[in-house]
Every structure is written in C-alpha cells, then in structure tokens.
Amino acid sequence: MKRFPSIRKNRDFQKVYKGGTSYANKLLVMYVKAGEEPKTRIGISVSKKIGNSVVRHRVTRLIREIFRLHKEETEKGLDIIVVARQAAGDSDFKKLESAYLHLCGLHNIRKELK
C-alpha cells in the first residue's frame, strides 16, 4: 500500500503558512506554496472548534478523499494546506468538494484535462 502524500511536520506547515498564498470560502481555507518535492503534498488541519473527534476525523477523511480524486487535475510539486472552518463540520461530501475545487480555481492550480 502506497503512503499518502501528506505534510506532517510542523516546520513544513509553517513554511507554507508563511511563504504561501491563501484563499478562503465559507467552508475551507487553502494555503498553497511551491514545494521542494516533485509530488504534490497535502496537510489538513481541523480544529477542536469543529466538533468532537468523530466529526473532525470525518471531515479529514472527506478532504483527503477529495484530494485523492482530483490529484490528477492539480499541478505537480505543490504543498497544499487545507484548514476546515466551523461550517465544514455540518457539510456533506458534495459541498466540501465544491469548496475545494473553488479554492483550487482561485489559486490557479487546476490543469485542463484533455
């Protein structure tokens, strides 16, 4: 089983927070920075304000799945951090997917598929 390409270390999160650009909508905040690795990595942050651990892990799993499904549509070599807002705890997959794709469009990291 392959490892999921995620950002795990605090220093990597801090590099993206400080050096990246950010856009937000009602459900998510997305920070993007060009990474040192050729693969696109994602970091997901879900605060305790969202809900209990079941809700937080559900939101994390949904965002990870959205990233996995749309990985081929995004540019390569990026570090992406997605921060869930409080409204994300009550949202379903389609709403989160729409919010994620909206932010990808604002960052201009979506490729045109042929």
Q: Is residue 114 part of a domain?
A: no
pLDDT at 4: 84
Residues 6+ positions from 71 with CB-CB distance below 8 Å: 40
Are 1 and 65 in contact by the 8 Å Cβ rule? The answer is: no
Averaged pLDDT in 10-residue chunks for the chain of 114 residues: 87 96 96 92 96 96 96 93 96 97 94 62
Q: Give me the CATH number covering residue 92.
A: 3.30.230.10
Q: Is the dihedral of CA 49, 28, 80, 41 positive or negative?
A: positive
pLDDT at 113: 55
Q: Is residue 25 part of a domain?
A: yes
Q: Is residue 24 part of a domain?
A: yes
Q: Is residue 3 part of a domain?
A: no
pLDDT at 114: 45
Q: Is residue 89 part of a domain?
A: yes
Q: How many domains does the chain have?
A: 1
Residue 58 belongs to domain spanning: 10-106
Determine how many CB atoms are found less than 10 A away from the CB of residue 63. Answer: 25
